[in-house]
Chain A
Amino acid sequence: MTDIAIQTHELGKSYQLGLHQTGNLRETLSAAARRPLQTLGRRRSARKETDTLWALRDVSIKIEDGEVVGLIGHNGAGKSTFLKLLSRITEPNAGWAEVTGRVGSLLEVGTGFHPELTGRENIYLNGAILGMRRAEIRRRFDEIVEFAEVGRFLDTPVKRYSSGMSVRLAFAVAAHLEPEILLVDEVLSVGDATFQRRSLAKMNEVAREGRTVIFVSHNLGTIRSLCERGILLERGTVVADAPAGEAIEKYLQLLERAASDDLLERSDRDSRSQGDTRIRAVSIADLASGQRDVVVGGHPAKISVEVTEPVAGLDCRLLIVNSLGLAVTRLDSEVSAPIDVRDPAPGTTIECEIDPLPLMPGRYRIDARVNSGDQVQDGLDGAAYFDVEPGILGERPMHTVSGDGDVVVPHTWRLPG
């Protein structure tokens, strides 16, 4: 019989909207002065349900010992909130969760490193922060130092470390923690390539050792290869709990449906969005055939982004992403070229021409972001979807079967007779 590592029952977490996150004393005091009785009484009871945003609601799941679970969903679907609840950083307001075993998290890599402390001191501090006993750290100290390759600098304050060294040291401590349950949130998207490879290897190892892992990533390919089970969250609730492949399929469908909806209605926007102007529509057109959202590979194509308000000096960044969630290429107007054209007057249409479109047949999505200066005005992942049909690039027909990469490169052979 297998044991339950994590069990949740109608778990929920809500936030109050419209309340100042950190208020000031004057507001509270003057509010208290205006209605002293209510304040003294149960002042929280008067809140309306409409002011409440449920970041997570009615989540009831069971995760068994040794399961490797991928958590997927849009930005703001509740993935991070779920991990925060499980790691006890924040408290649920509804339901309960039972967690059996020590919880570790690669999310915490380097948290609590103090620049003034030496490498040695930081290993002890960070180990304790991650929940290791002092004796345990002492036992594994040499291993950690060796793994981090910082032996010579052990008694140097961490502030003199290169960023690579401190990341290595932080990761070494986290990697030697032996939690029964490991939470990983997008860790593979930070750090350099070597670091990512190592974290991935570590993840693999942990998963093979039969420990319980909950893994959050936008990289669907990684989820597919690491996880056996996928949980899809949407607006704080579980919409699919299935084998990873199925959950990913469902997520992709959801993304597409969202893209065909009115973009202005979507709430999963870039969290840094200023919102002076918002993305209304994103589309791609085949300039040779005139079709929209279906482009023949090798044809010229045009991506159009419509925004709501004319804001001066708009820039746009488009990310073309394949069906596994891996970025294929980035088109960025901030990296300007002499052939770019900027109209003298602000407007609401941004266009980007690609000639020819060097993509293999398949389905792609466009993540769009508009900036003004260094401010993010609006950003939407999965703002549009399009299909590429097999075509001809540089007089050479494309392979019709995708699977060997996403990009077609014009090329010429010279062959022996």
Chain B
Amino acid sequence: MNAEPTALPSEAPPRVETVRLQPTRGFGRVLAPRELWRYRDLAFQIAARDVTVRYRQTALGALWAVLQPIGFMVVFSLFFGKVAGVSSDGLPYALFSLAALVPWTVFATVLTLGSDSLVVNTALVSKIYFPRIFIPGGVVAAGLVDLGISLVILLVIVLLYGTVPTIAILMLPVLVAIMLATALGTSAALSAANVRYRDIRYVVPFAIQMWLFLTPVVYASSSISQPWRTLSAINPMVGVVEGFRWATLSPVAPPWALIGVSALSSIVFLLGGLAYFDRVERSFADLI
């Protein structure tokens, strides 16, 4: 079995390139576009797996993406709308809360699953090379499917209430982008921290609860006085949630300031999260 490289089949495999492996420093592993592109099929497969697995063997399947926000809507309407009489900017409280719950629920689910994602995928991470960002990234992509489903239900309910969305609905993709950027940055950072400190697993559910109350889901941000209202949009979900209300329910005034601040802040969340992920990534296989 002597190697006879000259006798190799002439149709040499395409795209043979040399990869240099050496200690890396600084930013640039996570965002190396060539690497991400090279493994694009895997990114798609991981996202597809996350979507398929989430709902396979659940009796209600993807309906869960809808039941959760609707369940919360009913409870919130009873307690905050009726009993506590929280102001809802003159909107029916049910609609007011549902428009916020749709993005919030997806965000919270992504954060919960995303922060655990690297640890759950230990077998992959410790045996195979691929850009690790695909793991939390897959969870975010799967969240997009949930969002699509619950968004349809939201629009149906809005129409049933007799409200016709205006042109403002075209802002939804921007709002979704803000949410995804925040979700990806945060879950990337949390999943990376989770590899090192398993405490994260216990911190996340608690942190999500806190975050819910820092976000105007059950209340309206108009109940906060300026300049705190605009400042509160440093939490990107403030802009997302108020933006969703405006884009789907129209009557509220366009919250441009909130969306603007949140958009900037979400970029910080995204870059910060990816930077931390990048710093920790090189040691995943040694730690996990």
- For residue B42, CB closer than 8 A to chain A, the reply is yes
B49 & A97 in contact (Cβ 8 Å cutoff): no
What residue in chain A is nearest B43 (Cβ atoms)? A128
A66 to B198, CA, bound (A): 44
Choose among A90, A108, A204 the residue that contacts B285 (Cβ–Cβ < 8 A): A90
- A residues near B209, Cβ cutoff 8 Å: none
A228 to B197, CA, bound (A): 46
Choose among A23, A86, A129 the residue that contacts B197 (Cβ–Cβ < 8 A): A23
Contact stretch, chosen from B19-27, B61-69, B93-101, B168-176: B19-27
Taking the closest CB of chain A, its distance from the CB of B157, in whole angstroms, is 32
Taking the closest CB of chain A, its distance from the CB of B57, in whole angstroms, is 7
A124 & B13 in contact (Cβ 8 Å cutoff): no
What residue in chain A is nearest B2 (Cβ atoms)? A228
A67 to B57, CA, bound (A): 48
Please count the residue pairs between chain A and chain B whose beta carbons lie under 8 angstroms apart in the complex.
140
In chain B between 197 and 221, which residues have their CB closer than 8 angstroms to a CB of chain A?
197-200
In chain A between 51 and 103, which residues have their CB closer than 8 angstroms to a CB of chain B?
64-68, 84-102
A114 & B5 in contact (Cβ 8 Å cutoff): no
B41 & A134 in contact (Cβ 8 Å cutoff): yes
A139 to B128, CA, bound (A): 23
B129 & A88 in contact (Cβ 8 Å cutoff): yes
In chain A between 86 and 142, which residues have their CB closer than 8 angstroms to a CB of chain B?
86-102, 107-108, 111-112, 114, 116-117, 121, 124-125, 128-134
A112 to B41, CA, bound (A): 15
B21 & A96 in contact (Cβ 8 Å cutoff): yes
B123 & A66 in contact (Cβ 8 Å cutoff): no
In chain B between 107 and 156, which residues have their CB closer than 8 angstroms to a CB of chain A?
123-124, 126-130
Choose among A28, A108, A132 the residue that contacts B127 (Cβ–Cβ < 8 A): A108
- For residue A336, CB closer than 8 A to chain B, the reply is no
What residue in chain B is nearest A133 (Cβ atoms)? B41
B53 & A117 in contact (Cβ 8 Å cutoff): yes
A204 to B49, CA, bound (A): 34
B18 & A98 in contact (Cβ 8 Å cutoff): yes
Chain A, interface size category, equals 35 or more
What residue in chain A is nearest B193 (Cβ atoms)? A25
A102 to B41, CA, bound (A): 15
The interface size of chain B toward A, counting residues with CB under 8 Å, comes to 46
A207 to B2, CA, bound (A): 9
Choose among B42, B48, B128, B198 the residue that contacts A87 (Cβ–Cβ < 8 A): B128
A117 & B41 in contact (Cβ 8 Å cutoff): no
B123 & A116 in contact (Cβ 8 Å cutoff): no
Taking the closest CB of chain B, its distance from the CB of A8, in whole angstroms, is 9
A90 to B285, CA, bound (A): 6
Taking the closest CB of chain B, its distance from the CB of A63, in whole angstroms, is 10
In chain B between 6 and 41, which residues have their CB closer than 8 angstroms to a CB of chain A?
7-8, 13, 16-24, 39, 41
What residue in chain A is nearest B24 (Cβ atoms)? A91
A111 and B127 in contact, given A85-B21, A97-B21 (Cβ under 8 angstroms): yes
In chain B between 77 and 115, which residues have their CB closer than 8 angstroms to a CB of chain A?
none
Q: 16 more A-B contacts (CB under 8 A) besides A112-B128, A117-B53, A134-B41?
A: A25-B197, A66-B5, A85-B21, A90-B285, A90-B286, A92-B21, A98-B20, A99-B21, A101-B13, A101-B16, A114-B53, A121-B48, A125-B45, A128-B44, A131-B39, A228-B1
Identify the A interface with B (CB < 8 A).
Answer: 2-3, 15, 21-26, 28, 64-68, 84-102, 107-108, 111-112, 114, 116-117, 121, 124-125, 128-134, 157, 178, 180, 204, 207-208, 210, 226, 228
8 examples of A-B residue contacts, CB within 8 angstroms? A2-B5, A89-B127, A90-B285, A97-B21, A102-B16, A124-B45, A129-B130, A157-B56
What are the 9 closest A-B residue pairs judged by CB atoms, nearest first?
A66-B3, A88-B129, A96-B22, A128-B45, A128-B42, A90-B285, A25-B199, A100-B18, A97-B21
